Structure 1
């Protein structure tokens, strides 16, 4: 039973998000490395959507979303940490546009 992979289906207006790895350590414009543990002003994070509930209307799996990570619940699935949030807690979405050009658009 330990080798069985379960499929996660989110309910209602819930969104399953994995925080993007680049939200960790970053570099200032002057080249100074700022660790992810540095205390800064309240900061929003980007994450990738891995699951959505049946009542989610504006977000789809594969989108990048902007949200406040401090107000979310964490869950571990198959050794990966994800956040569970309501769709209304998402501030913005970014989707890859391949039919009209390249890049990431807000």
Structure 2
């Protein structure tokens, strides 16, 4: 029996997010190399929005969102890890939409 592919529809205020791949080591603005194994305080992460529920108001598919990955639920789809979260758990949005913002760019 062939495997049937089903479409995923997020419900309510849920988002389906793929973590943006992190580089192994980072470099500070002063040029200091920070290894991937360095212990840092809680660090927020960026992710790409793959799907949104019907009650999501401010986020669109394709936006990059800033969130705490430790507080989210993980699911595996087609062998890749994805995160499921509520819209209210997002701290910031990076998108090409022109609205009022901070004046900072990624």
1:44 alignment partner in structure 2: 44
Task: Provide the secondary structure at the position in 1 that maps to 2:95.
Answer: strand
Moved over 3 A (4+): none
Quote the Cα distance in structure 2 between the aligned partners of 1:15 and 1:50: 8
Does the 8 Å CA contact 1:96/1:105 hold for their aligned counterparts?
Answer: no
What do residues 6-37 of structure 1 show as CA deviations (whole Å, max 9, x unaligned)?
Answer: 2110000000000001x2423223252521x4
1:34 alignment partner in structure 2: 35
Quote the Cα distance in structure 2 between the aligned partners of 1:13 and 1:27: 33
Aligned length: 99
2:88 alignment partner in structure 1: 88
Q: TM-score, normalised by structure 1?
A: 0.81
Cα-Cα RMSD = 2.2
- Offset, 1:52: 0.4
Quote the Cα distance in structure 2 between the aligned partners of 1:2 and 1:18: 27
What do residues 30-62 of structure 1 show as CA deviations (whole Å, max 9, x unaligned)?
Answer: 252521x43201110000000000000000100
| Structure 2 segments unaligned to the other structure (5+ residues) | 99-103
Distance change >3 Å, CA 8–CA 28, structure 1 → 2: same
